[in-house]
Chains A and B, each alone.
Chain A
């Protein structure tokens, strides 16, 4: 039996009072939530399962990362639940268009992995916190506050759902030698065959990983550079661009898959599911672990300021359902990580858990959520276990204080 603390106690009472007060309303109107997010997380399987389990109908509003942020700022009443990344909170929260969620109403809140709450692995190992690390922007001062709180409070900005550690993707069949450092991205050996992500705030962090790996400069915080640091980073990248190092920059998931699958590039920044997609075409592609570590990202749910009353209860019910295990297992099987590990584990077969989370060789064929064959028995996941991957996070996707300057410099880089 778990010790009862204030938070679980209150969560219990809150849940009871919700249950007592709301049946009449529930019967009156169908439970519908408008879910704004990117296509990556908006699976039909998840909305179908959610409808079956809870009766909540999810209406997806799909947009690109940038357009999601634009919509939150300009049309806060056009959605109920927002699925977004922690780094964008530095823009979204000050706008006042997002309301804090009450941690006491989130059943599994205390079981959320300490990666989010404390910046450490479940085994206690501290992880890199450069950039907009989730724990820096997880809490607000008060329910209506637009200020982040450095210490835990009950008012949570974004209930975490999914996260991963990003690195470079490579074509081992074309490179034919081990790759161990971010510095390889600018290695003249791959002239005209490298690529980087053309989303300025993320691209510049990959660039910074490279600059640091080359030993050119050591940043105090790659996710929050000074103007001089931005200049230095862009100078290195501009020289590489002028020398013809890059084949193309990519912005869209499918672009990155095409570049890699067609052999136009052999080394580039990449996302995990893109590597999987290249591999599913029968083309060798590795999500290469590098000694300098990973650039991590994390996303979660929050609620528009326009949501209240019964609708807000439905939103809490949805978030609670999402953390209750089925969705977490689904995400883990895609190669992402779920925020509540215990409930996801309960929804996965032991051999699946061993492969995805423990870094052990697959005891039998590994299938994706849709039943397609992802890996044959005996294969080990790129980068190994959860602890090996998340434990080696060096920085998090970020929005810098000097964002405006950085964006101008990025335009200059593209024009160079």
Chain B
């Protein structure tokens, strides 16, 4: 009997397993394979070569203590990622908290959640371009600052800077943090909160000892979303950073565009490795399977 239900479960998982195998594992295996191939100007040469990797880490020992290109790039990417993660977490958690505990009507909750998707209603390109009249040298913010006599000259770092990159990423991805946390919060038994209140816990104690621990799965899932997306992003970093800020994804893009596929694949594998390490670290903190 036990065996039979086990078989059924496996059969049920089979379609997804097949899809993942064909459209995820197989391409990934090919990327890893190609990453150790050689290449010339126009084609990949299926012969073992560590060139994709050795070129990527070019000068990393020789230039010490100066950082080489790839380390500097990753330092930048990780820094942006950490900033975006922190801000989306704060904003996402706050918004989710408001929606879950302060809005009583289910309809209003849904309506307000939908509002959070507004940043996704326009195309990436349009959204980026729209920041220029807002943050640019002659943009709304600068005009307001000058009209209020807060600054005399236009503030240059509002656009094409780390600030604008983080702003745009946070604007985009707070939703990805908010939704899983909101989901976790909605599962919290309201009786627990009442019990805490009855036992004399302050609002902060309830938050720290009840709500945050129970939201952990949502926080980790949201963090995985945000971190994986931001680590690989090159479009937003490129456009908002005025193409002057390096990102791990940008290195891959430049290589692909130069038809240097093995080098691009090697960089993709490196990026995957770094991202996996971060994710593994996160899941050490919380056992998602247990919590779900």
Real binding pair: yes
| A-to-B contact residues, CB < 8 Å | 66, 69-70, 73, 90-92, 94-95, 192, 198-201, 241, 246-252, 254-255, 258, 262-264, 399, 403-404, 407-408, 410-412, 414-416
B139 CB contacts on chain A under 8 angstroms: 262
Within 8 A of A (CB), among B40-57: 41-43, 55
Q: How far is the CB of A198 from chain B (nearest CB, A)?
A: 5
A73 CB contacts on chain B under 8 angstroms: 42-43, 259
* Partner of A250 from B243, B254, B258 at Cβ < 8 Å: B243
Q: How far is the CB of A267 from chain B (nearest CB, A)?
A: 14
| Known contacts A73-B42, A241-B244, A403-B41; A415 and B73 CB within 8 A of each other | yes
Q: How far is the CB of B93 from chain A (nearest CB, A)?
A: 33
| Known contacts A95-B43, A251-B243; A262 and B257 CB within 8 A of each other | no
Within 8 A of A (CB), among B206-238: 238
Q: B136 contacts A414, CB within 8 Å? A: no
Binary interface encoding of chain B residues 127-139 relative to chain A, with 1 for a CB under 8 A from any of its CBs, else 0: 0010011001111
Q: How far is the CB of A201 from chain B (nearest CB, A)?
A: 8
Q: Report the interface size for chain B: residues with CB under 8 A from the other chain.
A: 38
* Partner of A414 from B41, B239, B244, B260 at Cβ < 8 Å: B244
Q: A249 contacts B246, CB within 8 Å? A: no
Q: B255 contacts A414, CB within 8 Å? A: no
A258 to B128, CA, bound (A): 11
Binary interface encoding of chain B residues 227-271 relative to chain A, with 1 for a CB under 8 A from any of its CBs, else 0: 000000000001101111110001100111111100100000000
| Known contacts A73-B259, A403-B258; A248 and B242 CB within 8 A of each other | yes
A123 to B243, CA, bound (A): 42
Q: A92 contacts B159, CB within 8 Å? A: no
Q: A262 contacts B41, CB within 8 Å? A: no
19 additional contacts (CB under 8 A) given A254-B129, A408-B55: A70-B259, A90-B41, A200-B254, A200-B258, A241-B244, A249-B242, A252-B125, A255-B239, A258-B129, A262-B132, A263-B138, A264-B137, A404-B55, A404-B260, A408-B69, A410-B254, A411-B246, A411-B251, A415-B76
A260 to B3, CA, bound (A): 69
User: Which 4 A-B pairs give the minimum distances between C-beta atoms?
Assistant: A248-B242, A415-B246, A249-B243, A66-B257
Q: B41 contacts A246, CB within 8 Å? A: no
| Known contacts A73-B42, A92-B42; A249 and B137 CB within 8 A of each other | no
In the assembled complex, B58 has its CB within 8 A of some CB on chain A: yes
A404 to B49, CA, bound (A): 15
A251 to B259, CA, bound (A): 17
5 contacts between A and B (CB under 8 A): A94-B42, A249-B242, A254-B125, A404-B41, A404-B258
Q: B137 contacts A262, CB within 8 Å? A: yes
| Known contacts A411-B69, A411-B254, A412-B69; A91 and B136 CB within 8 A of each other | no
Q: A246 contacts B242, CB within 8 Å? A: yes
In the assembled complex, B171 has its CB within 8 A of some CB on chain A: no
